Amino acid sequence: MIAEAEIKVKRSRFIARLYRCGSETEARETLHAVKTEYRNASHWVHAYALGEILRCSDNGEPPGTAGLPVLNALRSAKLDGVVCVVTRWFGGTKLGVDGLRAAYRAAALAVIELANS
């Protein structure tokens, strides 16, 4: 793992982790390991950038509200050969579409900032 950051938004807890990876298989294995470690979480959103391969998943969140903001954060930072997994525990208050986008992006940016420091 390169870095880990945690944020809280309206009682929902988000832990973002950034890992180096060299293949889609490795990215999937990393995601599986995080899901196993945090099996009681509500969502495990991920995005990865491997050269021309860019993938992301909302993992049950409304379409475009989770994986894409994380992927865009990776792209903005010009990161490659990485996977970012943001794990969420629902805090009881719905964040709405804009709130989810902002929270997932903030978590990804926080872990990227830590990785760059």
| Choices 3.10.150.10, 3.40.50.2300, 3.30.230.30, 3.10.180.10: CATH for 3-116 | 3.30.230.30
pLDDT at residue 117, rounded to an integer: 87
Give the span between the Cα atoms of 87 and 38, in whole angstroms.
Answer: 8
Q: Are 87 and 39 in contact (CB under 8 A)?
A: no
Decide: pTM greater than 0.85.
yes
Outline where the chain has alpha helix (H): 24-37, 67-76, 96-116
Residue 43: which H helix or E strand, with range? Answer: strand 43-50
Is the model's pLDDT at 5 over the cut of 90? yes
Each residue's pLDDT tens digit, 34-86: 999 999 999 999 999 999 999 999 999 999 999 999 999 999 999 999 999 99
Question: What average pLDDT score do residues 25-36 get?
Answer: 97
The predicted structure's pLDDT at residue 72: 98
Per-domain boundaries in the chain: 3-116
Q: Which residues contact 98 (CB under 8 A, 6 or more apart)?
A: none
Nearest alpha-carbon partner for 24 in 1, 2, 57: 57
